[in-house]
Structure 1
């Protein structure tokens, strides 16, 4: 094989191993913030449901 095809194969292999690109706004700290918000929202919903039962 010549150098051109070897480079093409290497580029494809690197693209495959990289995985899907994450959007710039979705950084790890944003994911942590969303997780905390979800937990607090679910906690609030559970508290409201407990208050409504009494």
Structure 2
């Protein structure tokens, strides 16, 4: 194998190991969004349980 092929294989291996990147605008807020969704679903479950008991 020549040097060009080895460089291409190395670049592909590095790209594969990196994994998918999260968008920059999402990074500080992703935990906040997950927490909001958890609270929202928990509140919805409580409302459904209240409606079923009446």
Partner residue in 1 for 2:46 = 47
Runs of 4+ with deviation above 6 angstroms: none
TM-score (norm 2): 0.68
TM-score (norm 1): 0.68
1:21 matched to 2:10: no
Aligned length: 53
Deviation string 1:2-28 (CA, Å, 9 cap, x unpaired) is 22111111011111111122222221x
RMSD: 1.8
